[in-house]
Amino acid sequence: MPDETLRQRFEMVAQSAREPVVRRYLEEACRCFSADAYNGAVVMAWNAVAYYIRQVVETISVALFRHNYTILHGQNPPDEMRTINDNLFIHTCRRMGILQDVIDRLGRLRDRRNDCAHPSGIFVLPDETVELVESVRQVVSCQVADERLTEIGILQEFARKASEQEGAAVAQWVEEGLCSQLAHNLLTIFSRNNDVENISGIIGLWHGLWGRLDDISRQRLWNRIIEEIARDVLEGNEAALRTPEELVRLIVWPQPDDTHPSRDRVGQLFVEWLEGLAQSGSFREPDMALARGLRQHMPAPLRDRLQVALQEMTRRYAE
């Protein structure tokens, strides 16, 4: 039987686990330890860690993990997460920006687990077993809901490739202090990077971040939308990279009855642009669809002007 003090130290680690399945793994490890099956205790403790990091990935974004795995290892990952080698899995987690403060603690236990899970002839002692388990306490005592993404560059890279749904899904997991900077960076990519053909992931992540920003941060972004994008797009600047339709998709529109000067400034630019198209007859069918869609976002005065412009387009289109 192991020393009682050692057993209590082991139990304290098991009791610190906040995720139910992780705790069950550690309780089983503790039973192995109490039965002098120290190698078994090491293997079960590692299983607790492996389960936790996979649960984090599955909860936050499998798409983000697959993106990073492909770039890091030069091939697509297996469909079944459980079959991925632990070492490859951990390196991918590090690149995608999760568990950054604990990953470096995992190496010793992982190596010992490899020894203990195979007929290596290595047998760990009680003291080392407890030390190994205590070394990952900061991991096993975590809760998935508290994990956050911390690599802005990786998130921007992912947004260029992701679908809108995939981009939106990761937004809630971004570290709080990074949200404003990431939103500004995404707006820069949207407006200035001509190598980004599919903006769906950028828009999804942008929309997901918008609700997490304070009023001051949102206003700064509105100012950039007006000065850097809307004027170029709607005043015929040939250097503008985005279409009016893409700009409408990007904007997180307030309720039409809300008082919102920035929304009204953008709306004014859109209405004047559409009125000009209607009067000149140079509109396209997509412009008519855009006008119809914009009506739901505009306050009553601008909505009425849109309706008049749309009626003129309809009249001319029928001729």
Residue range 63-73, pLDDT digits in tens? 999 999 999 99
- What is the predicted pLDDT for the residue at 104? 81
Each residue's pLDDT tens digit, 121-140: 889 999 999 999 999 998 99
Per-residue confidence band for 275, with pLDDT thresholds at 50, 70 and 90: very high
Each residue's pLDDT tens digit, 7-61: 999 999 999 999 999 999 999 999 999 999 999 999 999 999 999 999 999 999 9
Tell me the pTM.
0.91
Residue type, 9: R
Mean pLDDT score, 254-279: 94
Does domain 4-146 correspond to CATH entry 1.10.1060? no
Q: Please give the Cα distance from 194 to 207 (Å, whole number).
A: 21
> What is the chain's alpha carbon radius of gyration, rounded to the nearest angstrom?
27
Each residue's pLDDT tens digit, 80-126: 988 999 999 999 999 998 887 778 888 899 999 999 998 888 899 99
- What is the predicted pLDDT for the residue at 36? 94
- What is the predicted pLDDT for the residue at 198? 87
What are 297's two structure tokens? 């976002």
Give buried/exposed letters for 104-122 (b at 16+ CB in 10 A, else e): eebeebbebbbebeeeeee
- What is the predicted pLDDT for the residue at 204? 98
Mean pLDDT score, 247-266: 95
Per-residue confidence band for 245, with pLDDT thresholds at 50, 70 and 90: very high
Q: Please give the Cα distance from 195 to 193 (Å, whole number).
A: 5
Question: What value does the mean pLDDT of the chain take?
Answer: 92
Each residue's pLDDT tens digit, 207-241: 999 999 999 999 999 999 999 899 888 876 666 77
Burial of 239 (0-12, 13-18, 19+ CB in 10 A): exposed
- What is the predicted pLDDT for the residue at 1? 59
Is residue 173's pLDDT more than 90?
A: yes
- What is the predicted pLDDT for the residue at 194? 74
- What is the predicted pLDDT for the residue at 176? 96
Q: Closest by alpha carbon to 272, among 228, 302, 237?
A: 302
